[in-house]
Amino acid sequence: MTTTHTPRVFSGMQPTGNLTLGNYLGALVNFVALQERDEFADRLYCVVDLHAITVFQEPAELSRATREVAAAYIAAGLDPERSIIFNQSRVTAHAELGWIFTCVARMGWLNRMTQFKEKAGKNKENASVGLFSYPTLMAADILAYRATHVPVGEDQKQHLELTRDIAAKFNNDFSVPDFFPLPEPLIQPETARIMSLRNGENKMSKSDPSDASRINMTDSADLIAQKIRKAKTDPEPLPSEVDGLSGRAEAMNLVGIYAALSGQSKADVLAEYGGQGFGAFKPALADLTVAKIAPIGEEMRRLLEDEGAIDAILADGAERAATLARPVMREVYDTLGLTGGGSA
Ligand code: TYM
């Protein structure tokens, strides 16, 4: 995309339940890698607590989980100096622009969102209005900073497309071409969809009722090893070539996790383990996962002992984020003719 906008990264994670290996490999690893890329002027990594309340959250648990996601960001390698780490509710621009975008987005667009259908399930009439309009708030998160690049897993791709549609409609409706950039998703194909350990057809998810389906970032070394030992597989040995993984969803997923955690390609992993059964591969995967994930969990626990320090990081991040959003919001209010509007 050619754009006149300053290259800027924005992404977020919901503070609901435990972060999983899917969140880590699908998004967080990429957040950290982007810190090393000088072409981006800013990197904002948000804990999206306003998104979390689209379904009921116990208030004390929401605060705890918000700090926990911040701790995960830092424990995984985000540096609060080089990245802006904050929680969404501290910066009012998100809610303000979110409302404006609910007036830009069309019902038909939101009706097509597969995540709403999955999350609302059969009980659509009883879902919150916020759950339905959720992607408009996500567009606001990104566009309040005119962010141009958004590292996410595959499941957020449709929401990013909607963000682009909202940006384009706003630019067009108010005759302000290029007011908002059309942000690009940054999706790592190898880790875009980490699957459940119990069923290779389902995404690994913190909302899966079975805890055995996922590795949580705070699982102990023993629990990680146990979940990998019990992961669903098939009876065949591993193939020597990547093609041989097709139609074997569980084998594909475990080899993909090994490849991602070891920084190798699947072909490299199969060059080593092809021809061997899961009896040999699973212990190696368990050791690798424990070596990579358990120290992050330990560091999270250590960081969480000092809530004041985490809150200070979130407050500082929010201040820096608000400084970036303020001039954008000023222009948004002016563009809409909302005279003197906004808190900025
Ligand atoms: P959330 O909190 O569900 O997930 C956070 C990130 O983790 C990725 N992810 C996965 N990637 C690969 N395999 C998996 N099994 C897996 N599970 C989760 C998600 O794709 C995501 O990148 N709506 C977003 C949060 C959000 C946001 C934003 C993201 C709000 N505003 C603005 C980017 C920009 C969400 O619910 O992510």
Query: pLDDT tens across 151-190, in order?
Result: 999 999 999 999 999 999 999 999 999 999 999 999 999 9
Q: Has residue 61 got a pLDDT over 80?
A: yes
Q: Which residue minimizes the CA distance to atom 34 of ligand 1?
A: 11
User: Considering the chain, what percentage of its residues have pLDDT values greater than 90?
Assistant: 95
Q: Measured from the CB, is residue 197 less than 6 Å from ligand 1?
A: no
Residue 95 makes CB contacts below 8 A (sequence gap 6+) with 50, 89, 137, 140
Mean local confidence (pLDDT), 256-277? 97
| Cβ-based burial of 1 (10 A; exposed 0-12, middle 13-18, buried ≥19) | exposed
Q: Measured from the CB, is residue 52 less than 6 Å from ligand 1?
A: no
Domains of the chain, CATH where assigned = 8-186+306-336 (3.40.50.620), 211-302 (1.10.240.10)
Mean local confidence (pLDDT), 252-261? 98
Q: Measured from the CB, is residue 181 less than 6 Å from ligand 1?
A: no
Mean local confidence (pLDDT), 108-121? 93
Q: Supply angle C-alpha 254, 293, 259, rounded to 5.
A: 35
**What is the full DSSP assignment across 304-315?**
HT-HHHHHHHHH
For residue range 64-114, list pLDDT tens digits in order: 999 999 999 999 999 999 999 999 999 999 999 999 999 999 999 999 999
Q: Measured from the CB, is residue 51 less than 6 Å from ligand 1?
A: yes
Mean local confidence (pLDDT), 254-260? 98
In angstroms, what is the span from residue 163 Cα to ligand 1's centroid? Answer: 15
Q: Measured from the CB, is residue 47 less than 6 Å from ligand 1?
A: no
- Model confidence at 2, in pLDDT bands (50, 70, 90)? low
Q: Which residue minimizes the CA distance to atom 5 of ligand 1?
A: 13
pLDDT of residue 342: 86
Q: Measured from the CB, is residue 149 less than 6 Å from ligand 1?
A: no
pLDDT of residue 18: 87
Q: Has residue 131 got a pLDDT over 60?
A: yes
Q: Has residue 1 got a pLDDT over 50?
A: no
Q: Which residue minimizes the CA distance to atom 19 of ligand 1?
A: 153
Q: For residue 250, give the amino acid letter.
A: E
Q: What are phi and psi of 255, to 5 degrees?
A: -65, -40
In angstroms, what is the span from residue 103 Cα to ligand 1's centroid? Answer: 24
Q: Scanning the structure block, which residue is given the tokens 């320090």?
A: 309
Q: Which residue minimizes the CA distance to atom 20 of ligand 1?
A: 153
Mean local confidence (pLDDT), 272-288? 97
Q: Measured from the CB, is residue 21 less than 6 Å from ligand 1?
A: no
Mutate to test the pocket of ligand 1, among 8, 13, 18, 78 (most ligand atoms within 8 A of CB): 13
**What is the full DSSP assignment across 157-219?**
HHHHHHHHHHHHHHHHHTT-TTSS--PEEE--GGGS-PBPSS-TTSB--TT-S-GGGS-BTT-
Mutate to test the pocket of ligand 1, among 16, 20, 23, 203 (most ligand atoms within 8 A of CB): 23
pLDDT of residue 133: 97
- Model confidence at 230, in pLDDT bands (50, 70, 90)? very high
In angstroms, what is the span from residue 139 Cα to ligand 1's centroid? Answer: 13
- Model confidence at 344, in pLDDT bands (50, 70, 90)? low
Please choose, from the candidates 169, 293, 179, the residue with its C-alpha nearest in 3D space to the C-alpha of residue 228. Answer: 293
Q: Measured from the CB, is residue 23 less than 6 Å from ligand 1?
A: yes
CA–CA gap between residue 325 and residue 144 (Å, rounded)? 5
Query: What is the atom index within ligand 1 of the atom nearest the CA of 134?
Result: 23
Mean local confidence (pLDDT), 124-131? 95
Catalytic residues: 119, 203, 206
